[in-house]
A and B are shown apart, each in its own frame.
Chain A
Amino acid sequence: MKSFALIAVILTGWLLLSAVSDFPDWGDTESPANDYRLSQHYITETFPESSVPNMVTAVLADYRGYDTMFETVVIFVAGIAIMSILRRKPLDHLKDKGKETRTYKKDPDLIIDTTCRLMIPIIQLFALYVVAHGHHSPGGGFQGGVIFGASFILLALSRDLQAAQRWVPEKRVLNLAGIGILIYSGFGFACMLLGSNFLDYEILHKIMPATPVEARSHSMLGVEIGVAFTCTAIMFSIYSNLASNGDMKETL
């Protein structure tokens, strides 16, 4: 197996290397990828067409918004997949409405506890900033969502999974993730219902207090919030499922 792998790897590497000399130089502004009308259009026309200075956000949420919707679905699928692969017990506790008893496995350490108390709100505030300011500076729904999810993971690490579960019980996680995608696709279907194509935000100026160009910008913020919901929920869900080996009781 090892020698076979080595031969396969060398052959593939040789094949890929054979084309490198044909590539344009690194950093070449005249290369086809950088010089073609696609990239040029994104750079020069993004702001006139959607009043968003961050081109990456505009391409992500508008020009290629359909891709990004499915990107969000990829995260969602990963969350559900991990849950359904690892779960041993029936998911009955999702149906119960009974209150969970709050028991800590161990007393939280004073230093860790205090630091996390201080850090978590700041992290969450920063996450909201990253989501909301994604049009103007680096950021966006995925990044903000991951940061927000990380704050819950920090909580679970500093105390235990039960403590974090009180804030984001599994049922809420699933609902948040689904609602996130529903927000995203809701913008798309709203465009459809108003008689335009899926995700053609321009038409939304009819129901928004905005010009058509601003409608694109506002809708991008909307879908980014949807992405952030899904990302937050699923990042925490992935952590809690993997760390507890699927029974959601205690971490490793």
Chain B
Amino acid sequence: MIDQSPALILLAPFLLAIVLALLGIKREWLCFPLVIAGLAISVAASVVTLMRVIDEGTIQYFFGGWEPPFGINLRVDGLNALVALAVSTVSLLTAIYSKRAVPAETSDKVSQFYTLYLLSVTGLLGIVLTGDAFNLYVLIEISALTSYALIGMGSRRATLAAYKYLIMGTIGASFYLLGVGYLYIKTGSLNMYDIQEQIVANNLHSSPTIFVAFVVIMVGVWIKMAFFPLHSWLPNSYTYGPSTTSALLGPLVTKVMIYVMIRMILTVFSPEFAFDQLDWSNIVVWMSVIAILAASISALSQTSLQKMLAFLIIAEVGYMVGGVWLTDEMGMVGSIYHIIADAFMTLCVFLFAGIIFTKTGRRDLSAMEGLFTKMPLTMVGFLVGAFSLIGIPPTAGFFSKWYLIQGGISSGHYEYVAALLISSLINAVIFFRIIEIAYFGTKPAEGHGHHHNEEHKDGPKEASFSMLFPLLITAALLLGIGLYNQEVVAIITNFVSQFNIGAIIL
């Protein structure tokens, strides 16, 4: 059974999603255990796969027994294995959180919600694991279609946000598909590694078709990851959707798309082509600087917690895109490490926002008055996430920023370093403002008039265990990933060093 571990990572949630769709409508109580079971198997399989990758190096899994390029394969190396583990863990934690949130927010559609939830996770895991460029497109569409529905189930505004996401997401995915077509017309292959071999064998690096394929794929992926000028779909989608949706998609979708970008650059097009022949890296680093600054400043001006966090995600996307294009081994390591760290810290703050929303029914910052005394444990979890986003040691966020800044300095991109520092400072301002509100409750108790429910009059109490537990686990994981950063970075460095990025001289 251990040979099957890479496939089980995504087949377990997939199978249980279908079982849930068949059985869950009549038996709502069955939904939650099935979801947890599927995702727990997925996490276990991810751990086994990661162990195998550390022991054996790259492992492959051939669907249908056909070797590539004839069939579709999963190809797992240090990068995928780590990202897959992060994706499955985040989705498991969010699923635990959803136990109370989903019946409360989408009461009459629980089984549909969970079916889509599991299929969305399946799509994301498939994107991470697959070794086939076209298969990636199909899975992008699965994760996208489920996202539209998961967001569209939210409030009135959510429908419009989901519609905009659908239009932008389709443009992005179609551009990606077009890029794969351009690769196919010149190489005749669809397998990522085989495409790379064909490009080298036929000396296609100077071909305009490959150049256009690269540009189109990058633009498509940038739209999907909400890289700054192309980000307009993200803030409203993550603000008005159900809180479980935000806690699932917020940490995962953008990070998985950054993984796709790294995979395309390193594996399909090769770093020499992407960084050296195109000579774009300066422009992209500058774009990421603008993205970081613009998104951070937009975050500062938001009054709604969810929307502020959504803009922080966009800023974090800027970090990672910039880190990749620094053309520096340290920058690349930092970006990959940041994918994992950021998945967990975004999860941490989104879980917090979800708890606040379920407890108070409000999205604005003043909902957090005096929470330190009322919900101390929740606030502890939030503090770790906030410290990580600011970059205070020993949280994971500190170390990822550390590597990114090192990469920025060694490649001489001081504008990127400056943007990173300014953005950390803005994050500090944002979060200390929240901490201040929560600790001192500065604003007078006004505007409570229209909240008549019993709970709110006494002030919210500590969140229920099923919501608190994932938050605290996430906080613990953030500290753990931070303290054991050497081990994680060793795996990443082992992966990145084979591409010899440092040797590319600009």
Do B188 and A19 touch (CB < 8 A)? no
Closest to A90 in B: B108
| Nearest CB in chain B: distance from A174 CB, A | 7
Interface residue? B296 (CB, 8 A) = no
Of the residues B4, B21, B184, contact of A192 by C-beta under 8 Å? B4
| Nearest CB in chain A: distance from B498 CB, A | 26
Interface residue? A31 (CB, 8 A) = yes
Contacts of A125-184 to chain B: CB distance below 8 A: 171, 174-175, 177-179, 181-182
Interface residue? B288 (CB, 8 A) = no
Of the residues A15, A67, A179, A181, contact of B138 by C-beta under 8 Å? A67
Contacts of B66 in A (CB 8 A): 62-63
| Nearest CB in chain B: distance from A57 CB, A | 14
Complex: A91 Cα to B185 Cα, angstroms: 48
Complex: A189 Cα to B16 Cα, angstroms: 13
| Nearest CB in chain A: distance from B1 CB, A | 9
Do A81 and B70 touch (CB < 8 A)? no
Do B202 and A32 touch (CB < 8 A)? yes
Contacts of A80 in B (CB 8 A): 21, 112, 115-116, 149
Given A19-B209, A77-B116, the answer on whether A66 and B185 have CB atoms closer than 8 Å is: no
Do A22 and B119 touch (CB < 8 A)? no
B interface footprint on A87-106 (CB within 8 Å = 1, 0 otherwise): 10111101100000000000
Number of interface residues of A (CB under 8 A): 64
Do A91 and B63 touch (CB < 8 A)? no
Interface residue? B212 (CB, 8 A) = yes
Of the residues B15, B18, B65, contact of A200 by C-beta under 8 Å? B65
Complex: A21 Cα to B209 Cα, angstroms: 9
Contacts of B108-164 to chain A: CB distance below 8 A: 108-109, 112-113, 115-116, 119, 122-123, 126, 132, 134-135, 138-139, 141-142, 145-146, 148-149, 152-153, 159, 162
Complex: A67 Cα to B19 Cα, angstroms: 20
Interface residue? A113 (CB, 8 A) = no
Complex: A82 Cα to B112 Cα, angstroms: 11
Looking at B64, B69, B211, which has the most chain A CB atoms within 10 Å of its CB? B64
Contacts of A77 in B (CB 8 A): 116, 119, 142, 145-146, 149
Do B18 and A185 touch (CB < 8 A)? yes
Contacts of B382-421 to chain A: CB distance below 8 A: none
Given A71-B138, A81-B148, the answer on whether A32 and B116 have CB atoms closer than 8 Å is: no
Of the residues B15, B63, B211, contact of A189 by C-beta under 8 Å? B15
Contacts of B152 in A (CB 8 A): 81, 84-85
Closest to A185 in B: B15
Contacts of A76 in B (CB 8 A): 21, 119
Of the residues A36, A67, A74, contact of B189 by C-beta under 8 Å? A36
| Nearest CB in chain B: distance from A56 CB, A | 15
Contacts of B113 in A (CB 8 A): 84
Do A174 and B21 touch (CB < 8 A)? yes
Contacts of B11 in A (CB 8 A): 185, 188-189, 198
| Nearest CB in chain B: distance from A62 CB, A | 6
Complex: A198 Cα to B72 Cα, angstroms: 11
| Nearest CB in chain A: distance from B299 CB, A | 25
Do A35 and B64 touch (CB < 8 A)? no
Contacts of B215 in A (CB 8 A): 15
Interface residue? B463 (CB, 8 A) = no
Interface residue? A78 (CB, 8 A) = yes
Complex: A78 Cα to B14 Cα, angstroms: 16
Closest to B64 in A: A199
Interface residue? B90 (CB, 8 A) = no
Do B184 and A33 touch (CB < 8 A)? yes
Complex: A196 Cα to B123 Cα, angstroms: 23
8 pairs across A/B with beta carbons < 8 Å? A33-B184, A37-B69, A42-B70, A70-B142, A74-B145, A85-B152, A197-B63, A200-B62
User: What residues make up the interface of B, taking CB atoms closer than 8 Å to A?
Assistant: 4, 7, 11, 14-15, 18-19, 21-22, 25-26, 61-66, 69-72, 107-109, 112-113, 115-116, 119, 122-123, 126, 132, 134-135, 138-139, 141-142, 145-146, 148-149, 152-153, 159, 162, 178, 182, 184-190, 198, 202, 207-209, 211-212, 215-216
Across the A-B interface, the 10 shortest Cβ-Cβ residue pairs: A36-B188, A81-B149, A90-B108, A200-B65, A66-B63, A19-B212, A84-B112, A178-B22, A32-B188, A199-B64
User: What residues make up the interface of A, taking CB atoms closer than 8 Å to B?
Assistant: 15-16, 18-19, 21-24, 31-39, 41-42, 62-67, 70-71, 73-74, 76-78, 80-85, 87, 89-92, 94-95, 171, 174-175, 177-179, 181-182, 185, 188-189, 192, 196-202
